[in-house]
């Protein structure tokens, strides 16, 4: 699963990744070191003409038909069932997105004191990447929202958890975003072999509180 993540790269990096057409390339964005569910996050969509557009919305998908904020957790959608689950299937068909990130957190339970130890997971050089996501617009609530798709964890991350967010191959960005991409072609786009590519290390338990922000969140520590 994915319950916290980071987006610390500058706007120029995001601009270059996505060819965004509706925003000022000089925009400043604050580095975010501990993004939590229900917070507002950036996500990128396509208008069908190949133009990428930046949105802001709630992390935790609220379907277009919902009359209120759903109580169930919708921050993640399993790739195995996202195309058939009522909560996500409409978005799967035509409202797919990319979520800019450069790392995420997972937790293990300490054998010493039973408390949760956070780990920061990233690609080499902490280079930016995109989670594959789904999004929705709810007219009744005046709300845009999104979810992160998850899949089976790659090695060696399985030591931490059996699931991980889908980190999309940049070569698949356009096809994933395109509302016209055939349904049978979607899941193969998400099949990226990340075995041996993900790196991780222990970080401070201060991360367990979402209010903790700043570079301290990703500073490595030695296990106690």
Q: Residue 133: which of 61, 73, 188 has the closest Cα? A: 61
DSSP track, the chain: --S-EEE-S-HHHHHHHHTBSSS-TT-----EEEE-TTSEEEEEEE-SSS-EEEEEEEES---TT-SS--SS--SEEETTTTTTSTTTHHHHHH-EEEEEESEEEEEEE-TTTS-EEEEEEE-GGG--EEEEEEEEEETTTTEEEEEEEEEEPPTTGGGT-SEEE-B--GGGHHHHH-TTS-GGGHHHHT----TTT-EEEE--GGGGSTT--SGGGG------
- 100: nearest Cα among 55, 70, 137: 55
Q: What pLDDT sits at residue 22?
A: 62
Q: Where are the domains of the chain?
A: 5-103+125-196
Our CA dihedral for 108, 38, 91, 18, rounded to 10 degrees, sits at: -80
The stretch 90-95 carries a mean pLDDT of 96
Q: Average per-residue pLDDT in the chain?
A: 92
Q: Just list the catalytic residues.
A: 2, 106
**Alpha carbon distance 99, 26 (integer Å):** 20
CA–CA gap between residue 13 and residue 175 (Å, rounded)? 21
**In this predicted model, what pLDDT tens digit does every residue of 35-92 receive, in sequence order?**
999 999 999 999 877 788 889 999 999 999 999 998 889 999 999 999 999 999 999 9
- pLDDT tens digits, 179-217: 999 989 999 999 988 888 899 999 999 999 999 999 999
What residues pair up with 6 in beta bridges, in sequence order? 103
> Model's pTM, two decimal places?
0.94
Question: How much is the average pLDDT of 129-151?
Answer: 97
3-state secondary structure 34-91: EECCCCEEEEEEECCCCCEEEEEEEECCCCCCCCCCCCCCCCEEECCCCCCCCCCHHH
Q: Which residue has the higher pLDDT, 169 or 10?
A: 169
Domain 5-103+125-196 matching CATH 3.90.1680.10: the answer reads yes
Q: Please check the confidence at residue 125 and state whether its pLDDT lies above 70.
A: yes
């Amino acid at each position: 699963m994915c319950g916290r993540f980071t987006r610390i790269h500058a706007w120029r990096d995001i601009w270059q990744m996505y060819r965004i057409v509706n925003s000022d390339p000089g925009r400043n964005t604050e580095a975010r070191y501990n993004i939590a569910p229900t917070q507002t996050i950036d996500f990128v969509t396509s208008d069908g003409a190949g133009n990428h557009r930046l949105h802001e919305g709630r992390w935790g998908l609220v379907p277009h038909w919902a009359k209120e904020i759903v109580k169930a957790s919708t921050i993640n959608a399993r790739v195995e069932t996202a195309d058939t689950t009522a909560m996500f299937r409409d978005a799967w068909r035509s409202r797919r997105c990319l979520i800019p990130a450069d790392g995420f957190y997972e937790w293990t339970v300490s054998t010493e004191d039973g408390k949760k130890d956070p780990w920061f997971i990233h690609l080499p050089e902490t280079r930016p990447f995109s989670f594959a996501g789904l999004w929705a617009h709810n007219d009744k609530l005046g709300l845009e929202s999104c979810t992160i798709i998850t899949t089976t964890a790659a090695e060696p991350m399985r030591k931490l958890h059996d699931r991980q967010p889908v980190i999309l191959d940049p070569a698949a960005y356009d096809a994933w975003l395109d509302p016209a991409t055939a349904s049978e072609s979607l899941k193969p786009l998400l099949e990226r072999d990340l075995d041996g590519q993900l790196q991780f290390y222990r970080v401070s338990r201060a991360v367990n509180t979402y209010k903790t922000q700043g570079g301290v969140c990703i500073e490595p520590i030695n296990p106690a």
